[in-house]
Amino acid sequence: MKITLDSPVNKYYVQTLSMIFFPGEHFGKKGKPTDAAEEEEPSLYVRSEPIGNGVKAFAHVEWKGKIRQAEYAAEQSEGRSEERTLKLAVGGAVLAAMGELIGYRPAWGMMIGVRPSKVASEMLDAGISKTRTKKILTTDYLVIPKKAALATDIAVTEKRIVGEPSPKDCSIYISIPFCPSRCTYCSFVSYTSKRLLDLIPQYLVRLKEDIRENFVLADRLGLRVRTVYIGGGTPTILDAEQIRDILSHIASLTDVSALDEYTMEAGRPDTITEEKLRIAKEYGVTRVSVNPQSLCDEVLCGIGRNHSVEEFFRAFEDARRVKIHTVNVDLIAGLPGDNFRRFSSTMDDILQLNPENITVHTFCVKKSAEILRLNADVYSVRGGDAGKCVDYSQIKAHQAGYIPYYMYRQKNTVGNYENVGFSLPGHEGLYNIYMMEEIHTILASGAGAVTKLVDRTGSYTEARNIERLFHQKYPYEYLAEDRSQSFAEIAERFYREHGLL
């Protein structure tokens, strides 16, 4: 796609907006295209100019012989920055021109970020009322009313749960990047082959050293560990003794009963046993995830999940028998082979189980180009049945007494829809909020894990500074990681430089 900007607006922002209408497009040409390719390739021209107390933008889009043009003006009001005003004007013009060309109105309007509730949080924080916030999202950001309400409600809930973030809080993340087999849609780095699974014992030795370092570091920095999250991959790929080994190690480093939340993700039902869950409970785990994604065997088979619906019900019952305080169930809307009938029946059956948390993701393809391939089969830019499924999950969860408490968006989801965590009151997954909203420091260990040092002093909506420290992505590399400059030294420097120590 060709984009010409006669405006100081951020080019990446315009590209991301364009991808809503033209998923899989590339920007910037490689080599000289043929005439035929030129004709197929959409082109966009954007111009902007200051007017009075704001900005006016103009967009001109051409594709397959069709031309559409639109103008949009945005005012710099209600504490809005110049940059945001410019983005609103350009976003409005691009959305209007492209929307008319394709015949599509995106549900999230020009909100393209990972955290749709962040804009709502900022407005609420600036003293703007909840009603007015929803109104601004619909009129200025062109978000459809039900999504504006969702973003605002989640912002209010998050604010209530987080309260006043303390710079002296942190969470601990532990990565187990191994799975029993590979799901076809997976974009995580997770080892699944026999040869690589043989690395687990070695991996756990190294992981335990890093976990120890992180607890010692938290202590040295004067931080209170609020939550611990063991994620994957599939943590329950570990056998019962390995799980005991890791959990008893953690229990030797901290008083787990003082944690606000202790999650072991578990994950794939085919790896979960009652024995493993009993060990988790014995060592203080308060939250597990048992993830079916769909309750249709045909869909599960199609996405290579390698477990059955029956195995999910068995694993869920195990979690109930063991009396884990909070059980989360992950579902995906818009899976290949799924449709509204199957998804709605999945959602109904899950609600019958009454899990404390339900997280509904929108199917996300690994590469944006795959959306094009899927488009040819079942999807359109609108995401096929995915939107209906997402709506259904939100209506049904609400009717069953769940509240949406956190939300994020990913690139390349079908229809550009969101991922939402629902909770029965009092069971909200705290780590999810702390991590997604960058509320406090996360000290991470394991392959692919990222430590985030957060200085949030003085602001609820935006951390002043964040420094990320990356562990090697693959377990092999992680085992060989150079530890000459330890994360602990960097973290101490960060805390000292930001006056937090």
Q: Which stretch binds ligand SF4 (CB under 6 A): 16-24, 226-234, 311-319, 489-497?
A: 226-234
x/- track of binding to ligand SF4 for residues 150-189 (CB under 6 A): -----------------------------x--xx--x-x-
Q: In terms of CB distance, is 107 or 238 closer to ligand SF4?
A: 238
Distance from chain centroid for Cα 294: 19
Q: In terms of CB distance, is 267 or 384 closer to ligand SF4?
A: 267
3-state secondary structure 429-472: CHHHHHHHCCCCEEEEECCCCEEEEEECCCCCCCCCEEEEEECC
Q: In terms of CB distance, is 182 or 473 closer to ligand SF4?
A: 182
Whether omega for the bond prior to residue 231 falls within 30 degrees of 0, making it cis, is no
**Which amino acid appears at position 340 of this protein?**
F
CA angle 304, 308, 314 (to 5 degrees): 140
* Distance from C-alpha of 276 to C-alpha of 377, rounded to nearest angstrom: 41
Asked if 132 contacts 120 with a C-beta cutoff of 8 angstroms, the reply is no
Q: In terms of CB distance, is 232 or 429 closer to ligand SF4?
A: 232
Residues 241-270 touching ligand SF4, rule: CB under 6 A, are 267-268
State the minimum distance, in angstroms, from the CB of residue 184 to ligand SF4.
9
State the minimum distance, in angstroms, from the CB of residue 250 to ligand SF4.
22
DSSP letter at 258? G
Q: In terms of CB distance, is 294 or 461 closer to ligand SF4?
A: 294
* Distance from C-alpha of 351 to C-alpha of 200, rounded to nearest angstrom: 36
Whether omega for the bond prior to residue 233 falls within 30 degrees of 0, making it cis, is yes
Q: What is the dihedral of CA 350, 354, 356, 362, to 10 degrees?
A: 20
Q: In terms of CB distance, is 175 or 286 closer to ligand SF4?
A: 175
Q: In terms of CB distance, is 69 or 306 closer to ligand SF4?
A: 306
Q: Containing H/E element for 121?
A: helix 116-125
State the minimum distance, in angstroms, from the CB of residue 178 to ligand SF4.
8
Q: Which stretch binds ligand SF4 (CB under 6 A): 13-21, 76-84, 227-235, 251-259?
A: 227-235
Closest Cα to residue 176, out of 193, 194, 189? Answer: 189
Q: In terms of CB distance, is 168 or 367 closer to ligand SF4?
A: 367
Site size for ligand SF4, by CB under 6 A? Answer: 11
DSSP letter at 47? E
* Distance from C-alpha of 305 to C-alpha of 347, rounded to nearest angstrom: 18
x/- track of binding to ligand SF4 for residues 21-60 (CB under 6 A): ----------------------------------------
Q: In terms of CB distance, is 186 or 490 closer to ligand SF4?
A: 186
* Distance from C-alpha of 150 to C-alpha of 129, rounded to nearest angstrom: 15
State the minimum distance, in angstroms, from the CB of residue 187 to ligand SF4.
8
State the minimum distance, in angstroms, from the CB of residue 228 to ligand SF4.
20
Q: In terms of CB distance, is 138 or 410 closer to ligand SF4?
A: 410
State the minimum distance, in angstroms, from the CB of residue 221 to ligand SF4.
31
Q: Which residue is nearest to ligand SF4 (CB)?
A: 186
**Which tokens is 434 given?**
């702390």
Residues 433-492 touching ligand SF4, rule: CB under 6 A, are none
Closest Cα to residue 94, out of 154, 13, 170? Answer: 13
State the minimum distance, in angstroms, from the CB of residue 271 to ligand SF4.
9
Q: Containing H/E element for 11?
A: helix 11-21
3-state secondary structure 166-182: CCCEEEEEEEECECCCC
The pair phi, psi for residue 461, each rounded to 5°, is -85, -25
Helices (H), 333-486: 340-353, 368-377, 386-399, 430-436, 475-479
Under the binding rule (CB under 6 A), the answer on residue 190 touching ligand SF4 is yes
Q: In what order do the strands lie in the sheet with 2-6?
A: 2-6, 43-51, 54-63, 66-75
Under the binding rule (CB under 6 A), the answer on residue 307 touching ligand SF4 is no
State the minimum distance, in angstroms, from the CB of residue 473 to ligand SF4.
14
State the minimum distance, in angstroms, from the CB of residue 192 to ligand SF4.
7
Q: In terms of CB distance, is 117 or 291 closer to ligand SF4?
A: 291
Under the binding rule (CB under 6 A), the answer on residue 234 touching ligand SF4 is yes
* Distance from C-alpha of 82 to C-alpha of 319, rounded to nearest angstrom: 52
Q: In terms of CB distance, is 363 or 494 closer to ligand SF4?
A: 363
Q: Which stretch binds ligand SF4 (CB under 6 A): 32-40, 96-104, 231-239, 426-434?
A: 231-239
Q: In terms of CB distance, is 182 or 244 closer to ligand SF4?
A: 182
Which pairing describes strands 2-6 and 169-176: parallel, antiparallel, or unpaired? unpaired
State the minimum distance, in angstroms, from the CB of residue 138 to ligand SF4.
35
State the minimum distance, in angstroms, from the CB of residue 233 to ligand SF4.
5
Cα dihedral across residues 5, 10, 15, 21: positive or negative: negative
State the minimum distance, in angstroms, from the CB of residue 494 to ligand SF4.
30
Q: Which spans of this chain sit near ligand SF4 (rule: CB under 6 A)?
A: 179, 182-183, 186, 188, 190, 232-234, 267-268
